[in-house]
Structure 1
């Protein structure tokens, strides 16, 4: 930890190897699109969103997390039947929020990761629903129980995935 750091972000800045920034989003997008074709319940898990949340909380850079969320979201839109930009907008907002919260709070503890990821996934699903139902006038159902289950599944998977990804970090 730096002795003269003026903010939490400067004190705890950690980097990931460049291959993680390239391979992880592509792997998440590929798994999400391929596995969902064969197992429809896998759609409850949003791997690209978990990547956006991890990168946001790990780097603590709101601009980078917003751009990363936008790129990952637009690529996910291209692989789904969603209109281009819906996931891009939702994931860029979540990336910004994750990086902003990561700069202020300790997001390395498992409990905070579980709670934050649950909230981020639920908010992401809500943004997706608002954009599709109200702004694009495309009928999309909202099932509270299913959305809470989805958020819980994503939060539990995130804690395990984030712990594995932490092993690739290097301190600056």
Structure 2
């Protein structure tokens, strides 16, 4: 009879040990899943920030390409536009996704659709100042996320 109690106690010990191990493994799996999700979110935000910065730089380069501020300023109409790295012109705004080409570059002309949408808003604030607002949006599991970057261009020449 004493032997049975010892075997029963051993079995309970094994069950408790398995339960503790299971809880530990589930906790570790939860942490790994949360870490992977956080890494993916960080990666997406970093790409969005790069796309916003690129758009502002494209507009800045368009301005620098003009010899005279007045020529560039006269061509600007307050409103929303699309820009891409390989074009020196403002494109009419349309809410279409950016594409990524085989070289990992984002544009509208060629490549595979991405989850990223980009809009540039130009606003003349004075005769010597234009506000450039870049907005990037993307969708994850039905929720829209937004990132905005802003710069000012001045008549500095």
Q: Same fold (TM over 0.5)?
A: no
Higher relative contact order, chain-length normalized (CA < 8 Å, sep 6+): 1
In the superposition, the TM-score normalised over structure 2's length comes to: 0.30
| Bigger helix fraction | 1
| Bigger strand fraction | 2
